[in-house]
Amino acid sequence: MNLDTLRFVLYEVLEGDTLNQYERFADYDRDSVDILIDSVKAFADKELYPYFKEMDEKPAHFADGGVLVHPQIEKIIAKGAELGLIGSGFEYELGGMQLPMLYNYALVHILDCANNHATGYGGLTTGAANLIRVYGSDELKEKYIPKMIAGEWGGTMALTEPNAGSSLSDLTTEAIPQDDGTYKISGQKIFISGGDHQFCDNFIHLTLARIKGAPAGTKGISLFVVPKNRIKEDGSLESNDVITAADFPKMGQKGYCTTHLVYGENENCQGWLVGQPNQGLKYMFRMMNEARISVGCAAASMATAAYYASLQYAKERPQGRKINNEGVKDVSSDPVLIIEHPDVRRMLLLQKSVVEGSLALILEASKLSDLHTVAEGEASEQAHLLLELLTPIVKSYPSEMGKVSIDNGLQILGGYGFTEDFILQQYYRDIRITSIYEGTTGIQALDLLGRKVPMHNGAAMQLFAQEVSKTIEIAKTLELQKSATELAQRMQQVAETTEKLLRYAGAGQYDHFLADATVYLEFFSTFVIGWQWLKMASTAKQALLSGEGSFGTDFYESKIHTMRFYFKYELSKMTSLAEVLIDEQSLTVDTFKEEVLG
Amino acid sequence: MNLDTLRFVLYEVLEGDTLNQYERFADYDRDSVDILIDSVKAFADKELYPYFKEMDEKPAHFADGGVLVHPQIEKIIAKGAELGLIGSGFEYELGGMQLPMLYNYALVHILDCANNHATGYGGLTTGAANLIRVYGSDELKEKYIPKMIAGEWGGTMALTEPNAGSSLSDLTTEAIPQDDGTYKISGQKIFISGGDHQFCDNFIHLTLARIKGAPAGTKGISLFVVPKNRIKEDGSLESNDVITAADFPKMGQKGYCTTHLVYGENENCQGWLVGQPNQGLKYMFRMMNEARISVGCAAASMATAAYYASLQYAKERPQGRKINNEGVKDVSSDPVLIIEHPDVRRMLLLQKSVVEGSLALILEASKLSDLHTVAEGEASEQAHLLLELLTPIVKSYPSEMGKVSIDNGLQILGGYGFTEDFILQQYYRDIRITSIYEGTTGIQALDLLGRKVPMHNGAAMQLFAQEVSKTIEIAKTLELQKSATELAQRMQQVAETTEKLLRYAGAGQYDHFLADATVYLEFFSTFVIGWQWLKMASTAKQALLSGEGSFGTDFYESKIHTMRFYFKYELSKMTSLAEVLIDEQSLTVDTFKEEVLG
């Protein structure tokens, strides 16, 4: 990874310093953040990266009724907690650091680049603790948050069931009210990341379940704290009848366990309601923005690490020769480094444009989350609205295009890329989960087109268009007119295409409206990253013109060059995607016969 | 896989029956081919597929100076040889079956669908034996071909060296002439597929090496037969000093060994020249068409198998509900099978359009190879010219888009797709090698744009355009006017874009000419598969109109539907790719500074 690029986005593009005008974040100026970044980088280099390959080779696995993970996980959790990384955004009085999300995700990016198998343990514990922090009673907060923040107890978010994956409305885990105010829980959860291992005394499962008699569908889902072990009056632990039935062996991210939990097999599983009954999904989804930023961040980070691994190879590997003006290669000359070949440069620039564009978007979203928290009135609402719109892209673009990016990185290594001697193949396998968990790409697409685009009469889209226009206006003043004009034309294309699709919804043709939501997501995401690149290029240009930036001329010019690359090779995809979206043939909806397949 | 689709392409689209007008192929009418197909399908079902997952779980590996592969490989080689599958196209007098390539690849497709880890052993033995058949002396033929065809001895094509992967001109394996007419060989070869295992007595390495004093570059490369063991006068074997130094552990296709060979460590490695000195690369590349069809076939087959695995899941897995005309889901209704969801149908149709389009192209290329062999005069030359042009696409399209296809198949399974309990993740890993070996996609792209497009003053392109025009004219007579017109417009786009690029070559700007060769390959390939789909749809339409086809109405309509899908969702990509190709900004060539990266 590249700390300069990270700092460029944090301090120059996003002007992170503006956050410390808010009392909550008053302690975070550039100097204090730099210290944090350096200490987390040192931690990542020393304790995370050296174990990255080993975690793949010695996967988390089920044994004797529990899950065994790599021994280094113990140290990573302990040291991570010591650095304050679990619940870093929590209030001081809860043991947190009141760290802005902007910087939190900068740190998570550093950790994810070093070892994406390890970061989820702390990340999900933070997410689970955060649900208790925001919606839980004081009793729950006192009981659980300190131990979770200290890394002694793990936390999970337990949504998925064997028959309810993307379709949460069908979940059947049951909660029966008891006289003492608790609930008796029974059911099964699968794919629970970080759900069990040998290094925490307890796991606090933030579990979605249906209170007996509750309405069908998503309206009857409640949220419970269900610990693996109950806390007795004397503080000691006793089993709460949450059995770890299995750990799923996976293609990648093998160091990060994926458990199958069975609740109440012996009718002795107790749960504590969080907040109000039947509001569980709403609570969970308020946290979902954060979880989805985390997945986007993990994906962008894997792709970043893969990019630098392939770049290093390209700078060291001699192979082939340049073509001369007669179209031939002079074999009497020495072979050149493969970074000299235009096709290799294309693959490198593709990666760079994807990973830096992703990082910028993730940090932008994180800052919006901060503004939603600390700003007031309209400013807070607008930040939230924009964050809601961007979240499906923050989650899915780094996952989908990160996959393509790593694919290009692997290709640069040729045959070596496919061997286990080189690390590219591990990133290639690891990143594949990010398009799936915390809502598949298809789910993100439905969220974007079906909910976020139309919500509040298109208010988020209008706000987004205004933000883009600001970027375009600035770029126009900076000798970036051509790119600014191109982005403006693309914005027009987004508007027209969206309007055309919304007409189907207006006509009650919801099937048709949403049939190509995934294509729309790709179309829109490609634009959003183009917007991020124009922002970055403008910031770079400003620094070049003013001479006041923190980085060198080459650094800033590289951002402008990469923006041009993205516009030429990636933004151009929008033309074809728009063709697909406005084509009125309906090939997957009403005219569809199943016999078409097979 | 779907035998109906295979037969449809063989008999109806490509009119395979026309081949048995040639004496060499006189024995192969539809009935005899059907028997072959059925027996190979039975072999694949019984002896290959049941071991597919196991070969991944128990990879080929290096032990005690040799490579150990899965025990079932022994039976597969023996039974495959018994069925006549090794060297099936060879003359009867050499022990072959004189089987047309068209049918050979139909059979290989069946085997590859069942188990892509196993087929290469026989496939490469065929390739190696074929080099001896075409270019070797009678002595070499008699000595090696019978044992190779019988599956007793394996064969390899040994090109790659540690410092000469894509750049064969740098290979350094040395051959020193000896008084007895043989050569003393020394050097190293890596990534040699099928290079050693416990089930063959001998391995015949068709090895590229440089005779001492030969010119530098590709002009000084000769081809040698270098057996692992020399044959003594009494027919027994003695070591020929070819040491297996390692087997590369890989991300996928783990059952297929990938060896590192060291020749002449003890100065006792003997080689026999094949054909004339310094002609080795030319010989090897005459065979390369075949090897590249094999890779395309393997890739298309993996993607085919993955498609049917995801289709089966989609037909069995209930999840979610359809959206009604108010845009809501009725949670009181039962969940639907996921095949009901438009996004899942889109992912299935994408796969179908890619895998069947690939198969059609592979078989078309195979038939061209047959016509080159048996036709006379211009017909033979034209077949060869077209085959040369199409080969880079036959190799790379199934590899690149097969990867995307399998990615979509995996996605259909959601979280399960990422687990080792389901087979999709194995296909996902396996197919990744196909974009690399036998010439990476970047190499295919240079071959297409740098050699094949300009060769003989564009003769192959002209011929190709004529073929496409024939398809378009037929489609126009069959109520497929709209698609026919679209393909004609796309052909125009190909012509204009190609002409624009060739202008760079004309101006001596070869760097610029070839910088985006990979983009051009994708652009051109997308068109070629569109052509294949229009051919298939026309054949289907003809059958529907005449009522004389061998298959049902649903079957034929599915081909037309899939063509429409391909045109809408895939062929449309050409618009954006053309935008990239005609954009004159040069971002990876002359203006490039290395500081742009990092």
Confidence of residue A591 (pLDDT cuts 50, 70, 90): low
**Closest approach of chain A CAs to the CA of B354, in angstroms?**
13
SS3 at position B271 = strand
For residues B578 and B524, is the Cβ–Cβ distance under 8 A? no
Cα–Cα nearest to A231, from A273, A264, A270: A270
Contacts of B338 (CB under 8 A, 6+ apart): B313, B314, B317, B318, B319, B320, B344, B412
Which residues of chain B are within 8 Å of residue A570 when distances are taken between CB atoms? Answer: none
> Which tokens in the block code for residue B270?
């003997």
List active site positions of A.
438
- Between the alpha carbon of residue B51 and those of residues B54, B62, B73, B125, the distances in Å are 5, 20, 9, 21
For residues A211 and A199, is the Cβ–Cβ distance under 8 A? no
Q: Is A398 on the interface with B (CB under 8 A)?
A: no
CB contact under 8 A, A419 and B248: yes
Contacts of B456 (CB under 8 A, 6+ apart): B385
> Which tokens in the block code for residue B538?
């026309």
Based on its alpha-carbon atoms, the radius of gyration of chain B, rounded to whole angstroms, reads: 25
- B19-22: list long-range contacts, CB under 8 Å, 24+ apart: B19/B100, B19/B102, B19/B367, B19/B370, B19/B374, B22/B374, B22/B375
Q: Which of A576, A585, A586 to mutate to test the interface with B (most CBs of B within 10 A)?
A: A576
Neighbours of B540 (CB within 10 A): 27
For residues B136 and B185, is the Cβ–Cβ distance under 8 A? no
> Which tokens in the block code for residue B585?
């900004």
Query: Strands A174-177 and A183-193: what pairing?
Result: antiparallel
Contacts of B297 (CB under 8 A, 6+ apart): B105, B108, B109, B112, B362, B398
The DSSP letter of residue B276 is S
- pLDDT tens-digit readout, A298-326: 999 999 999 999 999 999 999 988 877 77
The count of C-alpha atoms lying within 13 angstroms of the C-alpha of B329, restricted to the half-sphere facing its C-beta, is 19
**Closest approach of chain A CAs to the CA of B179, in angstroms?**
30
CB contact under 8 A, A327 and B518: no
Q: Of the listed B364, B438, B522, B570, which one is catalytic?
A: B438
**Closest approach of chain B CAs to the CA of A391, in angstroms?**
20
Q: Which parts of chain B have pLDDT scores under 70?
A: 591
**Closest approach of chain A CAs to the CA of B248, in angstroms?**
6
Which residues of chain B are within 8 Å of residue A573 when distances are taken between CB atoms? Answer: 573, 576
ipTM given for this complex: 0.97
Q: Chain B, 65-124: which have a CB under 8 Å from a chain A CB?
A: none
B473-495 exposure pattern, b = at least 16 Cβ within 10 A, e = fewer: ebbbebebeebbebbbebbebbe
According to the model, what pLDDT value does residue B467 have?
98
Work out the average pLDDT over A462-484.
97
Query: Strands A258-263 and A183-193: what pairing?
Result: antiparallel
Q: How far apart are CA A95 and CA A146, in angstroms?
A: 7
Query: Following DSSP, what letter does each residue of B75-97 receive, concatenated?
Result: HHHHHHHHTT-TTTTS-GGGT--
Q: Chain A, 554-593: which have a CB under 8 Å from a chain B CB?
A: 554-555, 557-558, 561-562, 564-565, 568-569, 572-577, 579-580, 583, 585, 587-589, 592-593
Which residues of chain A are within 8 Å of residue B572 when distances are taken between CB atoms? Answer: 576, 579-580, 583
- For residue B343, give the nearest of A190, A324, A518 by CB distance: A518
**Closest approach of chain B CAs to the CA of A580, in angstroms?**
6
Q: How far apart are CA B592 and CA A386, in angstroms?
A: 36
CB contact under 8 A, B580 and A568: yes
For residues A434 and A398, is the Cβ–Cβ distance under 8 A? yes
- For residue A420, give the nearest of B249, B435, B562 by CB distance: B249
Length of chain A: 598
- For residue A250, give the nearest of B420, B554, B589 by CB distance: B420
Q: Treating both helix axes as pointing N-terminal to C-terminal, what angle do B377-412 and B280-316 enclose, rounded to 10 degrees? A: 40
CB contact under 8 A, B595 and A191: no
pTM of the model as a whole: 0.98
Q: Flag whether pLDDT at A158 surpasses 90.
A: yes
Residue B56: closest CA among chain A residues belongs to which residue?
Answer: A251
Q: How far apart are CA A406 and CA A399, in angstroms?
A: 10
Q: Is B319 on the interface with A (CB under 8 A)?
A: yes
The DSSP letter of residue A335 is P
- For residue A331, give the nearest of B169, B555, B561 by CB distance: B169
Q: How far apart are CA B375 and CA B371, in angstroms?
A: 5
Helix (H) or strand (E) holding B225: strand B222-227
Sign of the torsion angle spanned by Cα atoms A14, A17, A20, A21: negative
Q: How far apart are CA B176 and CA B577, in angstroms?
A: 49
* Beta pairing partners, A258: A193
**Closest approach of chain B CAs to the CA of A191, in angstroms?**
7
Q: Is A596 on the interface with B (CB under 8 A)?
A: yes
Query: Following DSSP, what letter does each residue of A343-386 receive, concatenated?
Result: HHHHHHHHHHHHHHHHHHHHHHHHHHHHHHHHS-HHHHHHHHHH
Average pLDDT, chain A: 96
